[in-house]
């Protein structure tokens, strides 16, 4: 250990989730619409119905990737800003893998458009 060049320094704790991540995973696994009460960075609340397809661990936050019915586009939702969530009985019309593929293609297009 004394000769290792790799050091691990404690960082800030992850923000606390108000909604059990198991509920989000269930919605993803069963391909069910998810009704959310979400607060943005400024604390403004909105209600959304989303088609969740992935959980992402990014830096110090966890993100729920989903198709948002309100915005008619892909969105990412910080899990610590989800105030309430309800898995509905309604399945979303696309398969989870298809949504993930389409999201990935959209990310590639955005990256290409932003490159020099």
Q: Tell me the per-residue pLDDT of 16-28, one tens digit each, with 9 for 90 and over.
A: 899 999 999 999 9
| Predicted structure pTM score | 0.84
> In the block, which residue shows the tokens 């019915």?
69
- What tokens appear for 105 in the block? 């293609």
**Three-class SS of residue 11?**
coil
How many C-alpha atoms does 2 have within 13 Å on its Cβ side? 0
Q: At 54, which helix (H) or strand (E)? A: strand 45-58
Gap between the Cα atoms of 91 and 60, Å rounded:
31
Indicate the pLDDT class of residue 10, thresholds 50, 70 and 90: confident
Task: Sort residue 71 into left (φ over 0), alpha (ψ -120 to 50) or beta.
Answer: alpha
């Amino acid at each position: 250990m004394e000769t290792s060049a790799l050091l691990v320094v404690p960082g800030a704790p992850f923000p606390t989730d108000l909604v059990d991540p198991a509920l989000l995973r269930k919605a993803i696994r069963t391909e069910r619409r998810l009704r959310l009460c979400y607060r943005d960075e400024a604390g403004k609340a909105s209600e959304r119905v989303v088609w969740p397809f992935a959980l992402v661990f990014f830096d110090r936050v966890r993100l729920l990737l989903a198709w948002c019915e309100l915005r008619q586009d892909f969105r990412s939702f910080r899990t610590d800003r989800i105030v309430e969530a309800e898995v509905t009985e309604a399945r979303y019309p696309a398969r989870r893998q298809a949504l993930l593929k389409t999201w990935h293609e959209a990310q590639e297009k955005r990256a290409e458009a932003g490159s020099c």
